[in-house]
Amino acid sequence: MRPLTPCVLAALLSVSAAVPAHAGHGGGGAVLAIPVEYAKRLLDWGDRPIFIDLRPAEEFRKGRLPGARSLPLTELHRRYAEIPRSGRVVLYCACPPLEIQAAYQFLRDQGYRNISVMEEGFPGWVSRGYPVER
């Protein structure tokens, strides 16, 4: 069996990442979820997704994904228009499952179709030893 070329691997990952799933975030409706590893590969490949950190500002200041923007969940309903409507947007937090589900659904209800949720959130990123900005 031959190893997968980078192009074939990227195609497979993009298909699997685009499948709606509960992302371990429960709450009834499906969210478009991507694994932590896929989010890291996007950065490695130069895709530069727009990471939206939904954690409180204090937590954001302590550490965040490279290039992430802070938009605390408590401010989402007031500031959601700051999220770009084009490009790949990846939401993440360290919040209870129902909260990320509600944030995702709220943005979908506002017409956003370019959003996904990073499975396992910030804790999943950190647990793998991936880079964190401070």
- Burial class of 63 by CB neighbour count within 10 A (0 to 12, 13 to 18, 19+): middle
CATH superfamily for domain 6-127: Rhodanese-like domain (3.40.250.10)
* pLDDT over 70 (residue 20): no
Q: Tell me: the pLDDT tens digits for 56-104?
A: 999 999 999 999 999 999 999 999 999 999 999 999 999 998 999 999 9
Angle at 15 between CA 11 and CA 19, to 5 degrees: 165
Confirm if 27 and 97 have CB atoms less than 8 A apart.
Answer: yes
Local confidence band at 29 (pLDDT 50, 70, 90 cut-offs): low
Higher pLDDT, 27 or 72: 72
The tokens describing 71, both together, are 């938009």
Whether the per-residue pLDDT at 11 is higher than 80: the answer is no
The residues, any chain, with a CB within 8 Å of residue 93's CB and separated by 6 or more, are 53, 54, 55, 73, 99, 100, 103, 121, 122
Q: What is the pLDDT of residue 4?
A: 33
Specify the pTM.
0.79
Once rounded to an integer, what is the mean pLDDT over residues 36-46?
96
Question: Looking at the predicted structure, is the pLDDT value of residue 17 above 90?
Answer: no
Maximum Cα–Cα distance across the chain: 53
Which SS3 state, helix, strand or coil, does residue 35 take? coil
By three-state DSSP, how is residue 33 classified? strand
Pick the more confident residue, 15 or 66: 66
Q: What percent of the chain has pLDDT over 70?
A: 78
User: Residue 30: is its pLDDT beyond 80?
Assistant: yes
How many other β-carbons are positioned within 10 Å of the β-carbon of residue 106? 14
